[in-house]
């Protein structure tokens, strides 16, 4: 999924390789100049060559400084170019990742919405069925409560009637028994 920056994509062509080659060539020249100075300083003559510090030492020293300066500048410039290229790649990757995250977020939101709709549809049918059953059970319960209440009211009315009849019978019995006791001593006294 990662795209490389190429000149066909419109990205700038990196100059890192060219700068690295220039800096490596400059480093090689600096090492050769340092070798020449070392050989000339210590009057070393390998392969039968005679190096004299007076004849080429000043030139070798100048070359050493120039080549060293070019090597350092080339390395710094190559690093800056490489950092710029890497920054551009990082920004491109960042944009791609943000686009992928937005796309995935949209897909996820769509999936969640679809699942919610399916759940609502499934629960909606069950909810309607359960609501009807609940209403039916409530009406049956209300009827049972009403009939139970009517039965209890009728039973209470019957018990009150019987209670009043019993109370009258008890009152009549009490009156008759008191009258009977009162009349018995009167017969004995007469």
In a domain, 130, yes or no: no
Structure confidence at residue 61 (pLDDT): 67
Phi first, then psi: give them for residue 2, nearest 5 degrees. -80, 130
Among candidate residues 58, 55, 51, the one with its CA nearest the CA of residue 36: 51
Q: In the chain, what is the straight-line distance between the N-terminal and C-terminal CA atoms, in Å?
A: 136
**pLDDT tens by residue, 19-38:** 677 777 777 777 777 777 77
- 92: number of Cβ within 10 Å: 16
- Helix, coil or strand: residue 10: coil
Q: Give the residue with greater pLDDT, 77 vs 150.
A: 150
In a domain, 30, yes or no: yes
Sign of CA dihedral 79, 83, 84, 89: positive
Helices (runs of H) and strands (runs of E) counted in the chain: 2, 0
The confidence band for 11, taking pLDDT boundaries of 50, 70 and 90, is low
In a domain, 123, yes or no: no
In a domain, 22, yes or no: yes
**pLDDT tens by residue, 111-124:** 998 988 888 777 77
pLDDT greater than 70 at residue 88: yes
**Which structural domain, as residue segments, surrounds residue 69?**
7-108
The confidence band for 103, taking pLDDT boundaries of 50, 70 and 90, is very high
pLDDT greater than 60 at residue 162: yes
Structure confidence at residue 46 (pLDDT): 61
State how many domains the chain has: 1
Residues 90, 91, 92: CA angle, nearest 5 degrees: 90
In a domain, 160, yes or no: no
pLDDT greater than 70 at residue 16: no
Q: Looking up tokens 């996820």, which residue turns up?
A: 108
Query: Which residues contact residue 16 at a Cβ distance below 8 angstroms, ignoring those fewer than 6 apart?
Result: 78, 81, 82, 85
The confidence band for 161, taking pLDDT boundaries of 50, 70 and 90, is very high
Sign of CA dihedral 44, 48, 54, 58: negative
> Residue 28 has which token pair?
């090689």
- Work out the mean pLDDT of the chain and round it to a whole number: 76
- 20: number of Cβ within 10 Å: 17
In a domain, 93, yes or no: yes
CA–CA distance, 137 with 123 (Å, rounded to integer): 20
**pLDDT tens by residue, 126-149:** 777 888 888 999 998 888 888 888
Q: Is the pTM of this model over 0.75?
A: no
Q: What is the DSSP letter of 2?
A: P
Average the pLDDT over 57-71 and give the result.
69
Phi first, then psi: give them for residue 3, nearest 5 degrees. -100, 140
The confidence band for 15, taking pLDDT boundaries of 50, 70 and 90, is low
């Amino acid at each position: 999924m990662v795209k490389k920056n190429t000149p066909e994509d419109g990205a700038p062509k990196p100059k890192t390789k060219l700068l690295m080659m220039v800096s490596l060539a400059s480093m090689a020249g600096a090492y050769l100049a340092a070798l020449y100075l070392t050989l000339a300083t210590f009057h070393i003559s390998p392969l039968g060559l005679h190096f004299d510090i007076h004849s080429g030492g000043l030139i070798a020293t100048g070359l050493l400084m120039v080549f060293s300066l070019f090597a350092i500048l080339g390395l710094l410039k190559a690093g800056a170019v490489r950092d710029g290229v890497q920054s551009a790649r990082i920004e491109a990757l960042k944009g791609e990742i943000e686009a992928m995250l937005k796309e995935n977020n949209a897909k996820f939101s769509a999936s969640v919405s679809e699942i919610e709709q399916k759940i609502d549809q499934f629960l909606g049918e069950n909810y309607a069925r359960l609501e009807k059953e609940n209403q039916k059970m409530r009406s049956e319960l209300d009827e049972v409560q009403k009939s139970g209440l009517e039965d209890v009211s009728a039973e209470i009315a019957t018990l009150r009637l019987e209670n009043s009849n019993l109370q009258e019978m008890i009152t009549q019995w009490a009156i008759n028994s008191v009258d009977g006791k009162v009349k018995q001593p009167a017969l004995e006294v007469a």
